[in-house]
């Protein structure tokens, strides 16, 4: 393989009709694929796609912070979708992680960017923190890489600084924890930390 796309979402609804064909085109172009789950259903779909390919297709399974509370959401491409509130069920994710081509846990983390006005923001942050900590524990238990999504409130570094504190504290007792930051729009100084 010439390249590895470390963060695809071919397991999401947009690829319902042509997921297999899309992955095959990537493989034909010498690109390995890592499909990333955002909740239990899309994590299951990422693992199901592994069954269709004996080649270098991998999965990351986990609960995205925006799926820890239900709301209407508009993404960067202005696609509107509704999420359902999901609590991280470690047993279900442990079962999915039995596949040897599940290489990571996530896309987990903290996303304070677009919190809904009709919900208590501190309650939402608590839900995100709890799911993040549980997924960190699972990554350590299974010796898998952690895929971190982190986005702060507009005009701040709040989620980044909190994420840095969490990861730094965890790494003191678990120096072998591997992770990558998927979403980052902050300044260079914080990135260096």
pLDDT band of 73, cuts 50, 70, 90? low
Least confident of 15-29, 76-90, 101-115, 127-141: 76-90
Q: Name the token pair of 114.
A: 């677009």
Reported as a single tens digit per residue, the pLDDT across 127-173 is 999 999 999 999 999 999 999 999 999 999 999 999 999 999 999 99
pLDDT at 185: 85
Taking alpha carbons only, the member of 19, 116, 7 closest to residue 62 is 7
Reduced to 3 states (helix: H, G, I; strand: E, B; else coil), residue 153 is: coil
Percentage of the residues of the chain whose pLDDT score is greater than 70: 92
> Which residue has tokens 């994590």?
43
Angle between helices 40-52 and 19-28 (to 10 degrees): 50
- For the residues 45-65, what does the mean pLDDT come to? 93
pLDDT band of 82, cuts 50, 70, 90? low
Least confident of 10-14, 122-126, 139-143: 10-14
Contact in structure between 174 and 142 (CB atoms under 8 Å): no
Taking alpha carbons only, the member of 22, 57, 51, 66 closest to residue 36 is 57
Contact in structure between 142 and 135 (CB atoms under 8 Å): no
Taking the whole predicted model, whether its pTM rises above 0.85 is answered as yes
Largest CA distance in the chain: 48
pLDDT at 101: 97
Element (H, E) at 80: strand 80-83
How far is C-alpha 50 from the chain's CA centre? Answer: 17
DSSP labels, 89-149: -HHHHHHHTTSTTEEEEEEEEEE-TT--TTS-HHHHHHHHHHHHHHHHHHHHHHT-EEEEE
């Amino acid at each position: 393989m010439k390249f590895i796309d470390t963060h695809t979402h071919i397991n999401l609804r947009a690829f319902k009709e042509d997921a297999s064909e899309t992955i095959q085109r990537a493989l034909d172009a010498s690109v390995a694929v890592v499909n990333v789950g955002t909740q239990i259903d899309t994590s299951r779909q990422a693992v199901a796609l592994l069954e269709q390919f004996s080649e270098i297709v991998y999965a990351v399974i986990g609960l995205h912070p925006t799926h820890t509370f239900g709301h209407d959401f508009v993404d960067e491409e202005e696609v509107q979708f509704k999420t359902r509130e999901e609590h991280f069920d470690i047993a279900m994710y442990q079962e999915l992680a039995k596949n040897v081509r599940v290489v990571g846990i996530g896309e987990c983390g903290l996303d304070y960017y677009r919190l809904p006005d009709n919900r208590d923001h501190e309650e939402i942050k608590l839900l995100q923190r709890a799911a993040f900590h549980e997924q960190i524990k699972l990554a350590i238990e299974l010796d898998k890489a952690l895929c971190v999504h982190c986005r702060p409130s507009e005009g701040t570094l709040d989620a980044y600084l909190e994420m840095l504190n969490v990861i730094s504290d965890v790494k003191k007792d678990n120096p072998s924890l591997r992770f990558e930051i998927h979403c980052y729009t902050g300044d260079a100084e914080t990135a260096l930390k």
